[in-house]
Amino acid sequence: MPTEPIITTGEVLLIYSDRAYQVSLPNGKKVIAHPAKALEARSGKIVPGAKVTLEMTPFDFEKARIAEILPAS
């Protein structure tokens, strides 16, 4: 039975590789995130300090998928 993902925002803290990032959630928790396939061409725009939209499964709060790079404010 599929469940809806949890949608939240975060800030990129560290770049581990072109497919793995450390992201801080609004509550201060840090997760490992990977970009969605649709963002592979724009992965160069995922830099420390970038704000991103994350999708998380309710079963594992240690990992997330970067769904969108938010514009700088």
pLDDT score of 27: 95
Residue spans of the domains in the chain: they are 6-69
Query: 69 pLDDT exceeds 80?
Result: yes
Q: How is domain 6-69 classified at the architecture level of CATH?
A: Beta Barrel (2.40)
With H, G, I as helix, E, B as strand and everything else as coil, classify residue 19. Answer: coil
Those residues whose C-beta lies under 8 Å from the C-beta of residue 2, and which sit 6 or more positions away, are none
Interatomic CA distance for residues 59 and 18, integer angstroms: 25
Q: What is the pLDDT of residues 32-66, one digit of tens each?
A: 999 999 888 777 789 999 999 999 999 999 999 99
Rounded CA Rg of the chain:
11
Query: 70 pLDDT exceeds 90?
Result: yes
pTM equals 0.89
